[in-house]
């Protein structure tokens, strides 16, 4: 919940400046607040960047005041939606069942989905990190039916300045891939894009991307400044 329309437009235009196009085989998406989806979409049109949304309703339509449906997102030009972000799971009480319904709605509308999974500090300290993440992945049982990415975001590393060690990232990404292989098969697991999120910054992004099994990044605060974002994701 950052940036008003004018500043969001300015940041998006700066992010899509220069060559304005991601490198071959690289997808870059910007997920502004709902109120700025239209102006950000205009700013990045033709740039090769994908317009994304930060969340989606679990229902198709109806009396759900304040919610935004998958069909509404598609109508606004959105191509990807983030589902299950830790701030919604832990701050707003979203359960695995709610996250699954949101994945269903997004998939039915033809949206790509970035599914966020991750453990809290207490869960990691109790030795339950892999169990928690496996449960969150396993809850989305129809991985083959939805264009899905997974973003591992250890909750204890979000907005805290702490970042998972390289071994933390490598081992959890490997565990996620093994979990997906057990659900959807080895081919689906090998094709799956798994991103790391959690205090990603210009000074740690390259090292994170160099880790085996880390296919991309989910960038939070560093995306609010175009220069910082460009240092994480060169365009």
130-182 pLDDT tens trace: 999 999 999 986 666 788 999 999 998 877 777 778 899 999 999 999 999 99
Cα Rg of the chain (Å, integer): 17
Question: Residue 224: pLDDT band by 50, 70, 90 thresholds?
Answer: very high
- Tens digit of each residue's pLDDT (9 = 90 or more) over 2-15: 999 999 999 999 98
Q: Percentage of the chain with pLDDT > 90?
A: 79
CA–CA gap between residue 224 and residue 206 (Å, rounded): 19
Supply the pLDDT for residue 142. 67
- Tens digit of each residue's pLDDT (9 = 90 or more) over 51-87: 999 999 999 999 999 999 999 999 999 999 999 999 9
CA 48, chain centre distance (Å): 18
Q: What is the pTM of this model?
A: 0.93
Collapse the DSSP code of 100 into the 3-class scheme (helix H, G, I; strand E, B; otherwise coil) and give the result: helix
Supply the pLDDT for residue 210. 92
Supply the pLDDT for residue 164. 79
Supply the pLDDT for residue 162. 73
Supply the pLDDT for residue 16. 81
CA–CA gap between residue 186 and residue 179 (Å, rounded): 10
Residues in Cβ contact with 136 at an 8 Å cutoff, skipping those fewer than 6 apart: 84, 96, 99, 117, 118
DSSP 101-140: HHHHHHHHTT-EEEEEE---HHHHHTT-HHHHHHHHHHT-
CA–CA gap between residue 149 and residue 191 (Å, rounded): 10
Domain chopping of the chain, boundaries: 5-232
Active site residues per annotation: 85, 153
Q: 212: buried, middle or exposed (CB in 10 Å: 19+, 13-18, 0-12)?
A: exposed
- Tokens matching residue 102: 């949101």
> Which top CATH class is 5-232?
alpha beta
20, pLDDT greater than 60? no
- Tens digit of each residue's pLDDT (9 = 90 or more) over 26-50: 899 999 999 999 999 999 999 999 9
């Amino acid at each position: 919940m950052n940036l008003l329309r004018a500043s969001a437009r300015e940041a998006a235009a700066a992010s899509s400046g220069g060559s304005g196009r991601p490198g071959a085989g690289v997808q870059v998406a910007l997920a502004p607040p709902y109120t700025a989806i239209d102006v950000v979409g205009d700013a990045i049109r033709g740039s090769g960047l994908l317009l994304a949304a930060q969340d989606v309703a679990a229902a198709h339509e109806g009396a759900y005041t304040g919610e935004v449906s998958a069909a509404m997102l598609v109508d606004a030009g959105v191509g990807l939606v983030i589902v299950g972000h830790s701030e919604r799971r832990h701050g707003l009480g979203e359960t695995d069942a709610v996250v699954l319904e949101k994945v269903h709605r997004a998939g039915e509308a033809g949206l790509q989905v970035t599914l966020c999974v991750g453990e809290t500090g207490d869960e990691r300290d109790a030795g339950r990190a892999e169990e928690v993440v496996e449960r969150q992945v396993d809850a989305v049982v129809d991985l083959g039916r939805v264009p899905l990415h997974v973003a591992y975001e250890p909750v204890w590393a979000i907005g805290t300045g702490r970042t998972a060690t390289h071994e933390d990232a490598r081992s959890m990404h490997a565990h996620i891939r093994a979990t997906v292989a057990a659900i959807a098969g080895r081919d689906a697991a090998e094709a799956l894009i798994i991103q790391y999120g959690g205090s990603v910054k210009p000074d740690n992004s390259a090292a994170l991307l160099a880790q085996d099994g880390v296919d991309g990044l989910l960038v939070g605060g560093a995306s609010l400044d175009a220069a910082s974002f460009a240092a994480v994701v060169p365009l």
